[in-house]
Amino acid sequence: MINQNSDIILSVSDLHATVDGTEILKGLNLEVKAGEIHAIMGLNGSGKSTFSKVLAGHPDYTVTAGEIVFKGQNILELEPHERATSGIFLAFQYPLEIPGVSNRDFLRVAFNAHRKARGEDEIDVFDFDDLIEAKLDVVKMDAAFLDRSVNEGFSGGEKKRNEILQMALLEPILAILDETDSGLDIDALRTVAGGVNQLSTTDNAVVLITHYQRLLDYIVPDYVHVMADGRIITTGDKALAQELESRGYEWVLEDHRAGVTA
Amino acid sequence: MSASVQTLVSQPYKYGFTTDIEADVIPRGLSEDVVRLISAKKNEPQFMLEFRLRAYRKWLTMAEPVWPNVNYPPIDYQNIIYYSAPKTQPKKLGSLDEVDPTLLDTFEKLGIPLSEQKRLANVAVDAIFDSVSVATTFKAKLAEVGVIFCSISEALQEHPELVEKYMGTVIPIGDNYFAALNSAVFSDGSFVYIPKDTQCPMDLSTYFRINNGDSGQFERTLIVAEAGSSVTYLEGCTAPMYDSNQLHAAIVELVAMDDATINYSTVQNWYAGDENGKGGIYNFVTKRGLCAGKNSKISWTQVETGSAITWKYPSCVLVGDNSVGEFYSVALTNHHQQADTGSKMVHVGKNTRSTIISKGISAAKSKNSYRGLVKIGPKATGARNYSQCDSMLIGDTSSANTFPYIQVQNSTAQVEHEASTSKIGEDQLFYFAQRGISPEDAVSMIISGFCRDVFNKLPMEFAAEADKLLALKLENTVG
């Protein structure tokens, strides 16, 4: 929901980043306010996923210019786990499997790491169990999932639901969902989108990274950005996504090229 | 990877101190005279001297094994001290009050309190310092139910017939180079005898401490469980930090009669050398259990974290019908450590079953090999084995190897072998980090998860300790 008076949560300016010496982000600008839902769309290789990893601090990427200000703080110097506990959450496109570590333990340790970072006491196993079981409803997950190893042997849909469960638990201020819709059947998509909608409030913000407009039928964005060649080249509302769906990306890219050369 | 991890100072080896105590030391080197001298110092019966001499003569004809996947400079066996004992130790201890307080302090510092007031509540401990046993707790209480728990030196005085009957029956003197050496010069160790139909009322434990920098440690443990009895045995070990390498060549023999069960657990934390590979213990150990009786069971659990070199294959010979052998192992190597460890399961009797679960973790420049033999003899109808060997690599410079040997001579046998190799990757750590979990905590969670099948088999107080030990050993390995 757009409210011009809301606080700015995220402000990215002229962001350049490389991986293995190749520049992927080439001057990206983005501002996200509390309560807003942003969608970032674009073709493969446009830099969408790279942007999400750079925000979260993945060690493979090097920021060569620009800044990322989150809640008024430049976070480029923060370690990935410090960015996480300060309120940035990334729902992974391919959630990792962690054999031997139970989902319950993983979630509890993550939750307590967040509490510790806020200067709060860690909560014990029993209180945590009550808390997490209440959250399971958000993504319609069975409690049996908690006792399986993290993502091990999970179906694609189960992995994505598990990501949203983590989001429900950690209550981030900025949630970035990287292609969360990929590989989901329609029921799983509805569940995941329903979870995100439940968690979206006037105090937090969501950035959806997606190829398709399909997800945006369920999570309605306030802004739709199109990324190409490491930059956001155009911004519109949900109508832009619908137009992209029916006409493809070529016309936006052409307009952009015309604009750049003009 | 992260500054916070790089600046983490590696936890120093906290057992690396030396105890300053006057020792009765014999001159360096090994000869028939030295073997006789050791036996004489211990006032041993004639059969023991003859056993030692046979072993020594056999050893002279043998060569050090070259097949293990480890490298080390030649060992000069003439430059080792084969007997070193604290001087103040009286010949025979009336009570713990007579133990040199320096020694009691040493074990207290190691977390093994021996004094009456502080001793571990439910574990009887035999504490071995260099070549001799300094104290055994709860002896009297155990004696009430007929359990004998004492040093092997004492057993040779008090129960020579039992020692003569069993010693060398599981591991013959010429079994291998290091076993022959141990049989010639072993100095002390623990002896356990559980009478028929007796469940040992408490866990038994031996704590080995090498103190002298120039002496080898050659201890020998013998556990006999009579029909229908059971015992749980724990073994721990540490050593001071020296620049030189110390040789440790031990033997453990287990005998289980009909329906008897022996659980033997080890947490091995000998000094591993520094991060450049200087110093550390050479750990060449022969451990074997004989399931002599029907329905008997021997279970080995080991957590190997120390030593510069580990060469060790706790094994089970399953002679009794329906007998069971188990081996659960976590072997962790860091820096320049080298481990070649695994198990042998030899199926002789009918319907014998064995399980091998091995977890190897290698970090830094270390080398970690699993080597195991599963042998099904011609008469072992219905024998079954399940082996699972998992390796985990941390970083790009360590190595893991698996050398399984399977020999089957009976067509009804079922033998399964599974192996996997995984790596703690940047992406896994990033996933943890993105949920707020620091790299150190992430590594420790992954490792605990990886080792869970084995830790579950450890007695409770050991399991917690093993978990902590691995975490300490791995500090500073990510980054």
In three state form, how does the secondary structure of B35-57 look?
A: HHHHHHHCCCCHHHHHHHHHHHH
Element (H or E) spanning A39, and its range? Answer: strand A37-42
Answer yes or no: do B432 and A149 touch at CB < 8 A: no
Distances (CA, A) of B289 to A158, B56, B90, B197, B314: 46, 23, 33, 19, 8
Answer yes or no: do A166 and B435 touch at CB < 8 A: yes
The per-residue DSSP string of B59-98 comes to HHT------SS---PPP-GGGSB--EEETT--SS-SSGGG
Neighboring chain B residues of A113 at a CB cutoff of 8 Å: 435-438, 441
What digits encode the pLDDT tens for the residues B426-467?
888 999 999 999 988 898 888 888 888 888 887 766 676 677
Superfamily of domain A8-261: P-loop containing nucleotide triphosphate hydrolases (3.40.50.300)
Rounded average pLDDT over B128-154: 82
From its phi and psi, is residue A241 left (phi > 0), alpha (psi between -120 and 50) or beta?
alpha
Out of A225-229, B248-252, B259-263, B451-455, least confident range: B451-455
Residues in A whose CB is inside 8 Å of some CB of B read: 56-60, 79-81, 84-85, 89-90, 92, 95-96, 98-102, 105-106, 109-110, 113-114, 117, 149, 166, 170
A182 versus B171: the higher-pLDDT residue is: B171
Residue B406 CB partners (closer than 8 Å, separation 6+)? B373, B374, B375, B415, B417
Residue count of chain B: 479
Given a contact cutoff of 8 angstroms between Cβ atoms, the answer to whether B323 and B352 are in contact is yes
- List the single residue in B with minimal CA-CA distance to A163: B435
Exposure string of A113-133, with b = 16+ CB inside 10 Å and e = fewer, is bbeeeeeeeeeeeeebeeebe
Short-list B127, B20, B132, B31, CA closest to B85: B132
Question: Per residue of chain A (262 residues), what is the pLDDT tens digit?
Answer: 788 888 999 999 999 999 999 999 999 999 999 999 999 999 989 999 999 999 999 999 999 999 999 999 999 999 999 999 999 999 999 999 998 899 999 999 999 999 999 999 999 999 999 999 999 988 888 999 999 999 999 999 999 999 999 999 999 999 999 999 888 888 889 989 999 999 999 999 999 999 888 899 999 999 999 999 999 999 999 999 999 989 988 999 898 888 765 5
Domain ranges, ordered by start, for chain A:
8-261
CA-based R_g, chain B, Å: 22
Neighboring chain A residues of B5 at a CB cutoff of 8 Å: none
Strands (E), B110-225: 123-129, 132-136, 148-151, 190-194, 203-209, 220-225
A159 versus B303: the higher-pLDDT residue is: A159
Given a contact cutoff of 8 angstroms between Cβ atoms, the answer to whether B329 and B371 are in contact is no
Stated pTM of the model:
0.80
Distances (CA, A) of A157 to A128, A177, A189, B232, B464: 25, 14, 8, 47, 36
Neighboring chain B residues of A92 at a CB cutoff of 8 Å: 431, 434
Query: Given a cut of 90, is residue B83 above it in pLDDT?
Result: no
Q: Which two tokens stand for residue B413?
A: 């046998």
Q: Report the SS3 class of residue A118.
A: coil
Short-list B341, B242, B333, CA closest to B284: B341
Q: Which of A109, A152, A154 to mutate to test binding with chain B, by most B CBs within 10 Å of its CB?
A: A109
CA distance A107 to chain B (A): 8
Burial classification of residue A111, based on how many CB atoms lie within 10 Å of its CB (0-12 exposed, 13-18 middle, 19 or more buried): buried
State the amino acid at position B288 in one-letter form: R
What digits encode the pLDDT tens for the residues B394-426?
878 888 999 999 999 999 999 999 998 888 878
**Distance between CA atoms of residues A14 and B109, nearest Å:** 59
Neighboring chain B residues of A52 at a CB cutoff of 8 Å: none
B86 versus A189: the higher-pLDDT residue is: A189
Backbone angles phi, psi at A238, to 5 degrees: -65, -20
